[in-house]
Amino acid sequence: MTPDPRPGGRIDIDRDAVRRDLMKLVLTIVELLRQLMERQALRRVEQGDLTEDEVEDLGTALMHLEEAMDELTAEFGLTAADLNLELGPLGPLLPRHRS
């Protein structure tokens, strides 16, 4: 964004950059939720709470979600590392193994 020298203080906005940054934020949230769901699913499988069919369906759903995330990040020119926000002293938002 660059200030506009004209009166009124208009700001030029790069619409593509705004769109990409918005998608980065949305995909970061979706990736965080995907990883949380994956961990919860593993816990339930380990506890024996699911039938074999439920385990298979859950695995298939998580696989499709991961594929969709890969497609969307590629479409917007992002990598898994781009989605891993650095939270200062708290460290990265997502586990580093996915980045």
pLDDT in tens, 31-89: 899 889 999 999 999 999 889 999 999 999 999 999 999 999 999 899 888 888 888 88
Tell me the C-alpha distance between 76 and 91, whole Å: 25
List residues bridging with 12 in a β-sheet: 2
List residues bridging with 3 in a β-sheet: 11
List residues bridging with 92 in a β-sheet: 86
User: Is residue 98's pLDDT more than 50?
Assistant: no
Tell me the C-alpha distance between 44 and 51, whole Å: 10
Element (H, E) at 31: helix 15-47
For residue 2, the model assigns a pLDDT of: 57
